A and B are shown apart, each in its own frame.
Chain A
């Protein structure tokens, strides 16, 4: 059983197909004389996904060797956790802290994760410096997008410079 991952993905695709089918039942609208209404494509996609899910599971169970080579290195979950934390915190804090502080935090947390992933041992000082670099990168981006291009991004103070 080298292909547990593919079996799991196949199962996931089947679940998705079921969800799509459930959703399709609640799409109102008449097919009319065209014979194809708003629910036609959802049903078609749900059916194809069900078929593909089954095929994925069958291929995975039949294969005697791994379908795709696994990466040489073992996964570095701690590194990914730091990067994920950066992204999620950014999503939650962006509108409260404003663009520059929130993105500086994202930059530092993500950089910490990437350093860990490269087997580095980032100290607290390194991360503090990364916050500064993150701010140096975010600030010009923020100003050029909000001031010159007129794209609105959240800011900490109403004047809109930070």
Chain B
């Protein structure tokens, strides 16, 4: 009952005309960056972080939430209509969505993606509403050792599970941790790695690194390698879904939702695993298995797209209740909270309850807005794909300048931005994931503080982390997450070798 009252209060805050405008602005920006190739919601929020110095927290968090959800809706449009995979989140949607579009059913694919996103987004937001306050209550009992262990788990899953290589993910994570070290140590007040440069004493802004890696790095990589391959576009068709298509879509939406949400809530980050799982499940259950990979099966779009949006909602649970970001966008959102001096964590529901509930309410409102924006108006968004890419990327660089310079008014930051852009090109070329850098640099200092507090509690003994059952369990999970895939690969290699020996 308390939850319901709080939620109603949230709606009262979020539904004021001003806040509705912010939500609409966020949904528009989010859909646009989702549709445009090369930029995503993490980058858009990062570029708009300077707003946090001027706009009041509720308004800007409502807008950022709109961008976050909007990016998920817009991404599917591009992956269905363009023959290049857009963001990682919509890669699976592209598998079947592209096939459908090639066979003249682009409209139906877009419709099932948009409605599925709405259904999943709404159900997942309901789950978030029910689950987050409960988890926050549980998390109030956590101490520094538990937090540290959970953060280690987040580090490991973000860097080891997501990328194609554990080694490369770990390198990216360490890079992020190293960047996070620069500046004044929060506990002792000692400067670290500042080289006497005032900009470095103040720490490197998350905006700068995110924009450098995602916008500048992406643009330079595009100039270097990708300019010559022009993407081909699929033709639009009627958005009308037949009765049979509805019947095939809705179970897939529901299954996708229930796969996606839990994956978002555990610090396993990212949407790759749940969307692939949903795809595999739909393929297995489908009565039209022949359409998968040939004419394009609508379940193969509906399920993963729902999973994708449900995961996005799930990611907000650890972010709001534990203060642990498990995806790049969540990490950037966390730094928005930090800019306001708001500590995310279990206290958030008590100290900033108006903000939190307005944010949650705006997720419901945003979902509805996005359905309207993306279904009847999809034709307008498709027009964005007509912008010549040399102007699009040049424009992105201008916006990157605003975002980075607007934060601290320093030309030094713009030079640093270019340097990080070069780093981004190298990472992209050699397939190093960039997400762990961002998560490492934001979560690193927090994990360090928890570690040192825990060590104080344990009076300098490392055993404090295994003496407490919850912390020990989480650390054991960390070991399992790293060791299991290695062990399975080795076993597979061995059994593969035996088979080879048997056939030889």
Contact = CB atoms under 8 A, between A and B. Distances in A.
A106 B456 CA distance: 51
A76 interface: yes
Interface string B382-426: 000000011101110111011001100101001101100100001
A45 interface: yes
A45 B448 CA distance: 11
Given A33-B459, A118-B227, A42 B222 contact: no
A45 B177 contact: yes
> Which secondary structure dominates chain B's binding surface?
helix
Contact of B223 (A23, A40, A117, A153): A117
B167 interface: yes
Given A90-B401, A106-B397, A149-B54, A117 B224 contact: yes
B181 A42 contact: yes
Contact of B430 (A6, A72, A77, A154): A6
Contacts, number: 208
Question: Which bracket fits the contact residues of A?
Answer: 35 or more
Contacts of A68: 429-431
B167 A141 contact: no
B500 interface: no
Nearest to A31: B460
Given A34-B456, A83-B223, A141 B192 contact: no
Question: Which bracket fits the contact residues of B?
Answer: 35 or more
B228 A115 contact: no
B356 to A, nearest CB: 24
Nearest to B389: A114
Contacts of A82: 223
Interface stretch (B182-190, B308-316, B465-473): B182-190
Given A34-B460, A38-B192, A94-B401, 8 more contacts: A36-B455, A52-B171, A79-B224, A83-B223, A116-B227, A149-B55, A150-B54, A153-B406
Interface of B: 50-51, 53-55, 165, 167, 170-171, 174, 177-178, 181, 185, 187-188, 190, 192-193, 216, 219-220, 222-230, 389-391, 393-395, 397-399, 401-402, 405-406, 409, 411, 414-415, 417-418, 421, 426, 429-431, 444, 448, 451-452, 455-456, 459-461
